[in-house]
A and B are shown apart, each in its own frame.
Chain A
Amino acid sequence: MASQYGKSRRSNAGNWFLHRITGTFLVFLLITHFWVQHYDDTTRSVVEQVVTEKGERPEYSEAAQKAVRAKFGADAEVTSYDVLMLRLADPVYAVLWKGFNILFLIAALHHGFYGLNNILTDYIRNPLNRKIATSLSWTAALVLLVIGVYSVIVAGWGYAP
């Protein structure tokens, strides 16, 4: 009997395996991201560094500062654009954080788009449409990857508040 279940031309085992790996990875990357970006002492130390070196505090939006302090107490600091840029401009931290963010980006894109592709191929039956949909989605992933990596690399370069 002519069977459609012949040997597949291309193995998908690698993508499935990466999906698992990136999934596990993302848990830790997300926790780190949230901690550093939103709850951290690193932010405070960068602020303090600016204060000691330059003798001035980075400017925060007054409204943002007020909102954060109302919620988290009078000592809470807003992670401002300045602080993020300074972190990425710092020669020591830059390599670490840029590397971290690029890794985060690749993991998130692969994980998300592998999932999206599964959904697309679940619902699109026509082989041609399927090919178009999956090609489009991987192209979108590639475009996002390029934009993302570019943004991470140039962010904070030579930034001075």
Chain B
Amino acid sequence: MELTAKIKRYNPEKDDAPHWETYEVPAEPDDSALSLLLYVKWHLDGTLTFRKSCAHGICGSDAMKINGENKLACSELVQDLVSGDGDTIKFAPLPAAPVIKDLVIDQSRFFEKYRAVKPWLMTEGPAPEREREQSPEEFDIIEDATKCIMCGACTHACPSTWSDPDYLGPAAMLKAYRYTFDTRDDGAEERLPVLDSDKGLWKCYTIFNCNQACPKDIDITRWLSALKRRSVTAA
């Protein structure tokens, strides 16, 4: 089928503001949305800039706004985005982040938030001789949260992030959940106070945009609610 790819372009060296450009692209129903972008870059306009790496929904590089929703371009099939020949798919960078060029956003703030929640195992006492063991039941508590690929679709889909770009956001706080609820972790006392602020947990109004955006179908809002309860108990 023939489709129209409508792409939000922005080159800070030449453009005053982002603008839309359209490209006619041939596609099969089971092509990924990413393949449309690759077609544009390889055959129509080599200046188009976007991030991609594995193209299999693992690296989390190509999160962007597709037809108005934050998605992974590689994990979306054309047949799920259009109803037929001649339809249009719109591509824009993730919202609430500075755009470096075209579909590439500046992720430095995103990763600053990630580091702020101390996303590593904090333990007390001497290290065991072998690895720190965890039972399958203990892993079940955090299993869902470990699936996060840090693509940023959730954080940039959150209205609290839109209103305050410094809001920690679901991705970082999901990491906080993943470590705080890890039965081997002793870092709650250090980690929770970072979340217990007006940049953190209490600005989550359980709107569920993060759940909807997550390409890995993680039940993010649920885990953030568990963190809130833990914070209340700890306070």
A and B bind? yes
Task: Report which A residues bind B (CB closer than 8 A).
Answer: 1, 3-8, 11-17, 118, 121-123, 125
Knowing A8-B196, A121-B198, say if A13 contacts B235 (CB, 8 Å): yes
Docked CA distance A123–B196 (Å): 19
* A6: B residues at CB distance < 8 A: 194
Among A5, A7, A8, residue most surrounded by chain B Cβ atoms (within 10 Å): A5
How far apart are A21's CB and chain B's nearest CB, in angstroms? 11
Tally of A-B Cβ pairs under 8 angstroms: 59
Docked CA distance A125–B199 (Å): 12
Q: Are B205 and A118 in contact (CB under 8 A)?
A: yes
Knowing A5-B113, A122-B164, say if A16 contacts B228 (CB, 8 Å): yes
Is B49 part of the binding interface, using a Cβ–Cβ cutoff of 8 Å? no
Additional pairs, 8, CB under 8 Å, beyond known A3-B112, A122-B203: A3-B116, A5-B112, A5-B117, A7-B193, A8-B200, A12-B196, A13-B234, A118-B203
Among B194, B198, B200, residue most surrounded by chain A Cβ atoms (within 10 Å): B198
* B203: A residues at CB distance < 8 A: 118, 121-122
Q: Are A123 and B193 in contact (CB under 8 A)?
A: no
Question: B197-219: which residues lie under 8 A (CB-CB) from chain A?
Answer: 197-203, 205
Task: Report which B residues bind A (CB closer than 8 A).
Answer: 112-113, 115-117, 160, 163-164, 166, 168, 193-194, 196-203, 205, 228, 231-232, 234-235
Q: Are A125 and B164 in contact (CB under 8 A)?
A: yes
Q: Are A122 and B160 in contact (CB under 8 A)?
A: yes
Q: Are B194 and A7 in contact (CB under 8 A)?
A: yes
A-B contact list, 5 entries, CB within 8 Å: A3-B115, A5-B168, A5-B199, A13-B202, A122-B163
Q: Are A12 and B202 in contact (CB under 8 A)?
A: yes
Docked CA distance A7–B200 (Å): 11
Q: Are A5 and B232 in contact (CB under 8 A)?
A: no
Ranked 8 nearest A-B pairs via Cβ:
A8-B197, A5-B116, A13-B235, A7-B193, A11-B235, A122-B163, A13-B232, A17-B232
How far apart are B27's CB and chain A's nearest CB, in angstroms? 40
Name which residue of chain A comes closest to B233, CB basis. Answer: A13
Name which residue of chain B comes closest to A117, CB basis. Answer: B198
How far apart are A133's CB and chain B's nearest CB, in angstroms? 13
* B196: A residues at CB distance < 8 A: 8, 11-13
Among B160, B197, B231, residue most surrounded by chain A Cβ atoms (within 10 Å): B197
Q: Are B194 and A5 in contact (CB under 8 A)?
A: yes
Q: Are B202 and A4 in contact (CB under 8 A)?
A: no
Name which residue of chain A comes closest to B196, CB basis. Answer: A11
* B166: A residues at CB distance < 8 A: 4
Docked CA distance A150–B75 (Å): 62
Docked CA distance A57–B112 (Å): 72
Among A11, A121, A125, residue most surrounded by chain B Cβ atoms (within 10 Å): A11
Docked CA distance A5–B235 (Å): 18
Q: Select which of A3, A8, A125 is within 8 A of B193 by beta carbon.
A: A8
Knowing A7-B194, A11-B196, A122-B160, say if A16 contacts B202 (CB, 8 Å): yes
